[in-house]
Structures are given as structure tokens and as C-alpha cells.
Amino acid sequence: MNTRVVRIDEQHIDDTLIEEAGRIIREGGLVAFPTETVYGLGGDALNPASSKKIYEAKGRPSDNPLIVHIARMEDLPALVRTVPETAKKLAQAFWPGPLTMIMNKSEAVPRETTGGLDTVAVRMPSHPTAMAFIEAAGGYVAAPSANRSGRPSPTAAGYVVEDLDGRIDMILDGGDVELGLESTIVDLTVEPPMILRPGFVTREALAETLGQVEQDATLFTRDSGQAPKAPGMKYRHYAPKGELTIVRGSAAAVTNYINARLEEERKNNKRTGVIATDETIAEYSADVPRSVGKRKDVNTVARGLYRILREFDDEGVDLIYSESFDGNGVSQAVMNRLLKAAGHRMINV
Ligand code: AMP
Ligand code: MG
């Protein structure tokens, strides 16, 4: 299959291209598109054959449900049995934006889209190109992240090309994404609502709207003996080819420990990488030192994480050491993805 890549300027959206992309979805094809979080791989959410194609293109297990993307609040009721009061409040506060809500699904949503579940995940993205595309596609676009299964989510169209060229019909290139980590997922079918994946809409922000909100116990632990509540979270989403270890402690202890390890590993002829920040990167003597962003602005770290993880794979490093990112808010999302990439390998110094 020939994959057409077209550049879309979100300030001056080309209606002809959007109309073409929408037609591909309505006819059962696949189009990758930019959102404010990461690039999505879209298909018609109400067409079982389209959802099957998404799993095939990604090489993703078919019990891992897709998120249904909408562009207008009026389109929500058709997807769900009833719109919960909690969903109305959250939509008012955070849509369009990086929040996905789990609700009981209606008959209209095929089980192929929900990985066999009776619930459906719904999000309204804020990216202008995504919104125009979803409307042109008929209003309901099922989309996981637009990477091959087992690779980091794509934060620029070039990474989508790397992973999916020849496997999908079209890629809408909207440049670099704004946020860089996937949406927060909150399950509204349980009481109190439960966070299944941390993201930019933080636990603190959700609690302000909902009162009480819980967090899935498996988000930051290796094996609590429980299965994760979001089926996708059980898969080793992504692991770099090199062995990644997170080092946690005071700034000085972390640099000292990592530099001692780097020296040791060089003697063993290992090629090493470091994930640090603008503030500390100059202190490390790795073969491939990379700053992921500014520690004092965790949003920059979130934006840079998947890009540098891909770079380490390209550089063929054997061992990677990373500073840790502790704290509330967006740091929780960063740490959740980093822990998953590290297979929960973490050392306290
Ligand atoms: P991705 O689109 O790659 O960010 O993956 C979608 C994520 O949403 C996966 O981790 C899924 O397990 C999760 N998800 C989608 N639908 C549901 C659902 N009905 N219940 C729980 N988790 C879901
Ligand atoms: Mg994904």
C-alpha cells in the first residue's frame, strides 16, 4: 500500500485534504493524524472491519481496546448507554483536551473497537486538525497511538512514517505535538471514579471537579498481584533496546552513582546512554548523553521523553541510566511511562 503523507497547517487547514482524509475513514481506510497528546492511528469507530485493520497495522493484540475520538459533545450520547453526570462535569472542565473517559457502551459501538469490553473509552481532542478530520470522517474515529506495537508513541509525523509507512492510507503531518504523552484515562463506571492512566489532566485537577478520585494501584508498581484495569497497561508498552535503569535520590547522589556506573561499564566495553535534564546533562560522561527537557518545567520533559527513547534505539546503546522525576501533577505521568520503559528497574541511592 502506498501511504500518502500530507502536511497540514493547523492555522490554515486545507479543507480539500481534510475532506479526502475523512472520505478514506468513511470508506473503511486508515489515516494517522496529529492530536495535542501524540499522533493517533484513526479508523471508523463504528465499523468493525476498520478496527480490525487498526490492530493489524499496529501489530497490536486485539483485546487492547481503542479510544473513540469525537469532535462535538452532541456526538457523545450515541456511544454510551447514558451520559453520567460525572462525564458532563468533566467534559465541561477538560474537553476538548487530553482526558479520556470510560463509560458503558451503547449498541452502536462494535466489540471490535472495545477489545471485547462492554465499556467504551471516549476523548475529544483539542487539536484543530484532529477536530476537523474527525468531523469530516463522520464524527467517530477510533484511534490508538500511531506507533507499531512495542515502540514509543509518535510525537512527530516522521516517527509515524518510520513505523507505519506502507501499512496505512494517509498521514496528516501536523509537525511536533504539543504535549508528548498520551491522555489521562479515568473510569467513570466505578464509584469513586478511578484513574487508569496518568496524564496532563492530573489527579489533583480531577479531584477538584469530582470530589473523590482513586488511582489504579498498579500504575507505579511492578507486581502488586493485581491486573491493571486498562487492558493496554498490562502490555510491556515499550522497552528500549538498551537496558534502562532509573536512579532516584538527591541530585548529587544520582550524578555520582550514574557516573561511577558509566566508568565501570566503559571498562566492560558497553555503550552507555544517560537521560538527564538541561540543568544536569553537562555533568555526565556517557557515550550518548541526552537532555529530555528542563527539570524546572516538567512539561518539557513530557514532550521530550518519547523522542529521546527512540534516539537511544537508533544509537544502539547497551545501557541507559535515567534521572527520576518525582512529584505530583504531570511528573506522575512522566514517571509512569519511564517506569514502564524501564520494566520498573529503579535504584534508590
Ligand atoms: P492508546 O490509544 O495506545 O493510548 O491506548 C489506549 C489505552 O486506553 C489502552 O491502554 C487501553 O487499555 C485503554 N482503554 C481503552 N478502552 C478502554 C476501556 N473500555 N476500559 C479500560 N481501558 C481502556
Ligand atoms: Mg499506545
CATH number at residue 27: 3.90.870.10
How confident is the model at residue 258, as a pLDDT? 98
The number of C-alpha atoms within 13 Å of 139 and in the hemisphere containing its C-beta is 10
Residue 147 forms part of a structural domain:
yes
Residue 224 forms part of a structural domain:
no
How confident is the model at residue 237, as a pLDDT? 65
Same domain, residue pair 160 and 95: yes
- Going by their DSSP bridges, the two strands 141-143 and 67-69 should be labelled as antiparallel
Grid cell of 195 as nine digits: 484513574
Same domain, residue pair 268 and 192: no
For residue 85, how far is its CA from the centre of ligand 2 (angstroms)? 28
**What domain range is 291 assigned to?**
243-348
| CB of 117 closer than 6 angstroms to any ligand 1 atom | yes
Which atom from ligand 1 is nearest to the alpha carbon of 117? 19
| CB of 65 closer than 6 angstroms to any ligand 1 atom | yes
Same domain, residue pair 104 and 8: yes
The CA-atom distances, in angstroms, between 101 and each of 63, 118, 184, 278 are 18, 14, 8, 35
Grid cell of 8 as nine digits: 497540514
How confident is the model at residue 229, as a pLDDT? 73
Same domain, residue pair 145 and 190: yes
Residue written as cell 506507533? 147
The CA-atom distances, in angstroms, between 308 and each of 189, 302, 314 are 36, 11, 10
Residues of the chain with pLDDT under 50: none
Residue 115 contacts residue 63 (beta carbons within 8 Å):
yes
Tens of pLDDT, residues 163-214: 999 999 999 999 999 999 999 999 999 999 999 999 999 999 999 999 999 9
For residue 249, how far is its CA from the centre of ligand 1 (angstroms)? 33
How confident is the model at residue 63, as a pLDDT? 80
Same domain, residue pair 299 and 183: no
Which residue's C-alpha comes closest to atom 21 of ligand 1? 230
For residue 231, how far is its CA from the centre of ligand 1 (angstroms)? 6
For residue 10, how far is its CA from the centre of ligand 1 (angstroms)? 27
Same domain, residue pair 102 and 180: yes
d(CA 43, CA 141): 6
Residue 64 forms part of a structural domain:
yes
How confident is the model at residue 240, as a pLDDT? 86
What is the count of structural domains for the chain?
A: 2
Here the CATH number for the domain that contains residue 266 is: 3.40.50.11030
Q: Who's near 240: CB < 8 A, 6+ residues apart? A: 309, 312, 313, 317, 320, 341
Tens of pLDDT, residues 18-58: 999 999 999 999 999 999 999 999 999 999 999 999 999 99
Same domain, residue pair 132 and 180: yes
Could you give the dihedral angle defined by the CA atoms of residues 106, 108, 111 and 112, in that order, rounded to the nearest 10 degrees?
Answer: -150
Residue 220 forms part of a structural domain:
no
For residue 232, how far is its CA from the centre of ligand 2 (angstroms)? 8
Q: Who's near 115: CB < 8 A, 6+ residues apart? A: 62, 63, 64, 65, 66, 231
Which residue's C-alpha comes closest to atom 22 of ligand 1? 230
* pTM of the predicted structure, to 2 decimals: 0.95
Residue 164 forms part of a structural domain:
yes
Which of 164, 195, 215 is where one domain is finished? 215
Residue among 55, 80, 102, 238 to mutate when testing ligand 1 (max atoms within 8 A of CB): 102
Residue 65 forms part of a structural domain:
yes
Same domain, residue pair 286 and 178: no
Same domain, residue pair 43 and 102: yes
